[in-house]
Each structure stands twice: as C-alpha cells, then as structure tokens.
Amino acid sequence: MLIDRVIAGDSINNYLLSAKKELIQQQAANYLTKINIKPGNEIHAVNSLYNYVASSYNMYPIEDTFAPQLDLQALNDFSQSLSQHLTASILVDMVAEKFVISDTYNYLEMENLLPENLYGHWAYALYNTEGNAPDIDRTKRLLLLVILQELGFIEGFIKETIIDSDEPEKKKKIYQTDNDIFIEEWIEDQITCDFRPMVRICSNTKEDNELLLRYYDQLKGRFSPSMGARLPLSVL
C-alpha cells in the first residue's frame, strides 16, 4: 500500500520525487495516443496532463506557457488511468533503479541516508567486517524498503521473522521482500569490537537451507514465483 505523503529527508525524498515525476510523465506520453494533439506539441501536452494530476501526488506543476488546455474529459480519463498504473510496487521499483549506495562503507553516506530511528541498527548492516558489501545490488533494495516503510511511504513490503535466541537483543532475523530473502546475524566488528547486525542474502548452503526448512511454515506465505531462482530445490 502506498501512503501518499511526503515526509522524508532530502536524500530519499529526492529519489521518490524523481521516480514519481518520471512515471507520471511516461504515463502521460503513453496517453497521448488516445487524444488528438498537434504534431510538435506533444511535450507541452504531456505537461498539461502532468500538471492536472500533480497536486494529487504531492508534486509541483511544471511551468509551461505553451501547455495546451485539454478537454476536461481527457484530463479526468488520464487521472483515472494513472491511478491504476501508479502502484506502490511500480514506484518502488523505479526508486530502486535510481537508488545508489557505495559497496564500500561510507559514514557520511549512511548519515545522510538513514532516518535517525534506523541509524543505530542499519548504519553498518549491509557491510561485512572489512567494510564491504559484496551483494549491494540486492541488499540495497532491502535497505530502501526499510527506509520507505519507516518513513510511512509504504507498508507491508517486508516480512520480518525473528528467530529465537538466548540473547534477545541479538536475535537472528529473516527478512522477506517481494523477490528476495535476507538473513540478519550479529557479528563482532573488527574496528569497534562491538557486536552489530549484519544482513546478507540467503545463500544455497546447508546452513541456510536448514534454517529455511526449520521455519518454513512461517515463511511460506511470502515465497513468490520470482523467488524460485534464488531458493534451493530442497525448499521449493
């Protein structure tokens, strides 16, 4: 579910606004095939459609003195069509394509990116003891979902399963998204000598296979077809 409000900090907010703008403009350009537009005036017609719906998606209109006045029925039809195509999943995918973080730990990057409530847990979570994130292309999407969910832009995108531990503050977790599975473990940081969480992708190892099978009943509800290529056959 997309919660349509803009409350994020500059970093994530910029990613989100850029993705929303691009998606609305794409849909507007596609919609032009359904109405008669003077050749050469397409970009201005796109701006007319965009400006009509902009406030509904917390966006500022585009200043364009050449934007034509389109028929109200066409504007309303576009608005209805857009509401069917601009889904939370599509928007998150577009944000994820633009979302870039370093595969080597960068203190300033994390400080700028993470909301205060998440910093203590997630500042180092994607990085191993050497400060590297070997699977950043996949783990960064989990971090993006965590941030968007914390800020109230989305909900229900991540299922978190806590695995029992003798130390409650250091419980192992399994995170399931729409297309991936991640395991969070606690490690001793070589620099700070403190224990901290580290998130890694679920791999095709005996240990991970046994873990998934042990908690299969709690996890199976979020196993999707797109996960098939990443799940071991023993689990499927």
Read off the pLDDT of residues 83-138 as tens digits, 9 standing for 90 and up.
998 888 888 888 888 888 999 999 899 998 999 899 999 999 999 988 999 999 99
Question: How would residue 43 be classed by pLDDT, with cut points 50, 70 and 90?
Answer: very high
pLDDT above 50 (res 214)? yes
Amino acid identity, residue 118? Answer: L
At residue 107, what are phi and psi to the nearest 5 degrees? -55, -50
Burial class from Cβ neighbours inside 10 Å (0-12, 13-18, 19+) for residue 102 reads: middle
Q: Give the span between the Cα atoms of 186 and 198, in whole angstroms.
A: 6
Q: Give the span between the Cα atoms of 140 and 98, in whole angstroms.
A: 11
- Tokens at 44, concatenated: 């201005």
pLDDT of residue 7: 37
pTM: 0.77
Question: HEC string of 91-149?
Answer: HHHHHHHHCCCCCECCHHHHHHHCCHHHHHHHCCCCCCCCCECCCHHHHHHHHHHHHHH
Q: Answer positive or negative: Cα dihedral of 40, 44, 46, 48.
A: negative
**pLDDT digit string, tens, across residues 176-209:** 998 899 999 998 877 677 889 999 999 888 888 8
Q: In 164-223, where do the E strands start and end?
A: 172-176, 181-188, 195-201
Strand pairing category for 172-176 and 195-201:
unpaired
Burial 193-206 (b: 16+ CB within 10 A, else e): eeebbbbbbbeeee
Residue 25, SS3 per DSSP = helix
**pLDDT digit string, tens, across residues 12-34:** 878 888 889 999 999 999 999 99
Q: Where are the domains of the chain?
A: 10-95, 101-230
Q: Give which of 103, 86, 102 is closest to 94, Cα–Cα.
A: 86
Q: Give the span between the Cα atoms of 148 and 144, in whole angstroms.
A: 6
Amino acid identity, residue 2? Answer: L
pLDDT of residue 236: 37
Q: Give the span between the Cα atoms of 229 and 227, in whole angstroms.
A: 6
CB 33 within 8 A of CB 13: no
Amino acid identity, residue 170? Answer: K
